[in-house]
Structure 1
Amino acid sequence: MTDTPKIELRNVTKRFGSKVVLDNLSLVVPKGKSLVVIGGSGTGKSVMLKCVLGILRPEKGEIFVDGENVLKMSTSEREQTLRKFGMLFQGAALFDSLPVWQNVAFGLIQGRKMKRKEAKDVAIAKLAKVGLGPEVGELYPAELSGGMQKRVGLARAIAADPEIIFFDEPTTGLDPIMADVINDLIIDSVKDLGATALSITHDMASARKIADEIAMIYKGRIIWAGPRSEIDSSGNDYVDQFIHGRATGPIKMDVLKP
């Protein structure tokens, strides 16, 4: 018998007014695997994550976490399910008014009612996991470089030892070397926790490094999915154009000519 997927979306449709953003999208994230969803801006990647997290509610379809339909859960059941998740937001999304350690410990203190001293100890330990010393915990986000902010965001994502981690454009805005450092930290963090990872990105270097499996979203649908090793021989013209960054091909960019 096959394992129940950690996350599964079945025929999920999400509209904003007349614009269909997710169009009968189906996706399976196997337990313990790292799945990266690639696709251009505005293709529905972030909306897909928000639907899984319950921030947005689709008009149609089913979303399962560990075999349970999250769209049919009570508020308390959904809260319990959300405890399984950690999230690295695009741009780190840190609270400017809080020192770094409180940013990392935020979910532990607010969501899990952990005592502040215990939460601070966890935060310092998680910062160490991403290569940041305890002195960084006393700084404020504005005092950090972009790469350090991203590391703090990762420390926060793993603070509660989640079963599932979402990575939203984890390397956006970073230089190639720091992006690779973040990729390595993501791999190590997922492995240490034995977690399932779902990432969205348009950075192919990142996708190739952190993925076990890759899926491509285009116009709100998954148009190809398979092992990372097969991405270069997908036989799909859309995938081929995207991964090689070609201007010509079936994907047309809306560029206004002067």
Structure 2
Amino acid sequence: MTTPELDVPKISLRGVKKAFGPKVVLDGIDLDVGRGESVVIIGGSGTGKSVLLKSILGILQPDEGRIHIDGEDTTHIGGRDRERAMAKFGMLFQGAALFDSLPVWENVAFGLIQGQRVGRREARERAVATLGAVGLSPDVADLFPSELSGGMQKRVGLARAICTRPEIIFFDEPTTGLDPIMADVINDLIVKCVKDLGATALSITHDMASARKIADRVAMLYQGKLIWVGPVSEIDNSGNPYVEQFIHGRADGPIKMQIKAF
């Protein structure tokens, strides 16, 4: 027997449109992300993946359509209502986006200290514990981001994303700039952390190895529309020529890259 709350998608988008001048970036996006589900949005650079995430977060306002979080219409809310809704989110930014002037533990505990007003002593303890969850030892806590390798920075970014125990985690190109082995380590950590938290995950990437590892479902964004949505297990048999070209990285196909002549 199910409860009404469990039937409501964690994230729901209906008819979401966003344009910048004459350029239509999102053109009527419909997407549901269930509770505890991991959905990965794939697509080339400049296809609107980041705009979609920013619209859900309220950083950008859609021109049309509705966005619901836990059944609540968050499309145009602001102030304290927006802060309350955003408290459910954690995010791993592309390139980790750590604060250079703060030691690692303060980076990880930033949401605890600034968002939840947790005391510094408790925040540090929780930060060190979270670093352990992503495979980093306590001595890393007092280092600065400039003293870390790219892979370690990405782990710290992941620790920051999960330290507040969010209900929803966004992953923005989580493996960018990493070698294939470290990328796979990060993918494994993402799967583990999301499962341990029981969180809902929405990721954007053009890295198909990452998408295959972390996704339950995959959605492909092309020219402002989701042209295919389905289980990751079915992506190799999508029957969609755009999806097939993208996942196999072929130059020839219906997707034409815009190349400027100099």
Match for residue 109 of structure 1?
113
Q: Secondary structure at the match of 1:107?
A: helix
Match for residue 154 of structure 1?
158
Worse-superposed segment, 115-124 or 17-26: 17-26
Paired residues for 1:189-204 under 5 Å: 189-204=193-208
| Deviation string, structure 1 residues 177-206 (Cα, Å, up to 9, x no partner) | 000000000000000000000000000000
* Amino acid in structure 2 at the alignment position of 1:175: D
Match for residue 242 of structure 1?
246
Instruction: Report how many aligned residue pairs link the two structures.
Output: 258
Query: Of 28, 42, 48, which aligns to 2:46?
Result: 42
Q: Secondary structure at the match of 2:109?
A: helix
Q: TM-score, normalised by structure 2?
A: 0.96
Match for residue 133 of structure 1?
137
Matched, 1:17 2:17: no
| Deviation string, structure 1 residues 29-88 (Cα, Å, up to 9, x no partner) | 111110000000000000000000000001100001001110243421221110100000
CA displacement at 1:15 relative to structure 2: 1.0
Q: Is the contact between residue 40 and residue 219 of structure 2 (CA under 8 Å) also seen in structure 1?
A: yes
Aligned-CA RMSD value = 1.1
Structure 1 unmatched runs, 5+:
none
Query: What percent of counterpart residues are identical?
Result: 69
* Amino acid in structure 2 at the alignment position of 1:216: M
CA displacement at 1:26 relative to structure 2: 1.3
Matched, 1:96 2:100: yes
CA displacement at 1:142 relative to structure 2: 0.3
Query: Of 181, 184, 188, which aligns to 1:184?
Result: 188
CA distance in 1, matches of 2:172, 2:236: 23
Structure 2 unmatched runs, 5+:
none
CA displacement at 1:256 relative to structure 2: 3.3
Match for residue 173 of structure 2?
169
CA distance in 2, matches of 1:13, 1:241: 26
* Amino acid in structure 1 at the alignment position of 2:151: G
* Amino acid in structure 1 at the alignment position of 2:102: L
CA distance in 2, matches of 1:50, 1:35: 16
Matched, 1:4 2:5: no
CA distance in 1, matches of 2:74, 2:261: 45
Match for residue 143 of structure 1?
147
Q: Secondary structure at the match of 1:71?
A: coil
CA distance in 1, matches of 2:94, 2:145: 15
CA distance in 1, matches of 2:260, 2:73: 43
Q: TM-score, normalised by structure 1?
A: 0.98
* Amino acid in structure 1 at the alignment position of 2:177: G
Matched, 1:231 2:227: no
Q: Secondary structure at the match of 1:37?
A: strand
Q: Is the contact between residue 61 and residue 76 of structure 2 (CA under 8 Å) also seen in structure 1?
A: no
CA distance in 2, matches of 1:96, 1:257: 38
Q: Secondary structure at the match of 1:155?
A: helix
CA distance in 2, matches of 1:54, 1:257: 37
| Deviation string, structure 1 residues 116-161 (Cα, Å, up to 9, x no partner) | 0000001000000000011101000000000000000000000000
Matched, 1:84 2:88: yes
Matched, 1:27 2:31: yes
Query: Of 186, 194, 218, which aligns to 2:222?
Result: 218
- Runs (4+) of structure 1 exceeding 3 A deviation are none
CA distance in 2, matches of 1:73, 1:250: 39
